[in-house]
Amino acid sequence: MAETQDRLQREHEWLQREVAYAAGLTDRERIEILEDLWHTAEIIRATKTPEQLQRDERARQVLDSPGLVNYRALAARLA
């Protein structure tokens, strides 16, 4: 239990540092980061099989639909 609390505390502190860092970024730096992420996602997508792409698309559709509301409600109940 103490290990879990320590881990959560470290993650919380890390997240606080990341948010503080992000607050100091310029718009141009933010755009560059998003472009890098987009490029990385495209590379990953290019390596997937058609079956993997179909599974990803089905998951996206579920999360874009009312399923997202249900998922969030379930996550809230479990948290």
pLDDT in tens, 37-50: 999 999 999 999 99
- pLDDT above 90 for 66: no
Is pLDDT at 71 greater than 90 in this prediction? no
d(CA 26, CA 58): 36
Q: Answer yes or no: do 10 and 27 share one domain.
A: yes
- Are 8 and 38 within one domain? yes
Q: How far is CA 42 from CA 2, 27, 50, 69, in A?
A: 40, 23, 14, 28
pTM given for the model: 0.54
The pLDDT of residue 14 is 94
Nearest to 55 by CA among 63, 23, 28, 27: 63
> What's the number of domains the chain is made of?
2
Q: Specify the 3-state DSSP secondary structure of 64.
A: helix
Average pLDDT, the chain: 90
Q: Are residues 34 and 54 in the same domain?
A: no
Are residues 39 and 77 part of one domain?
no
Domain that holds residue 39: 1-47
CB count in 10 Å sphere of residue 28: 8
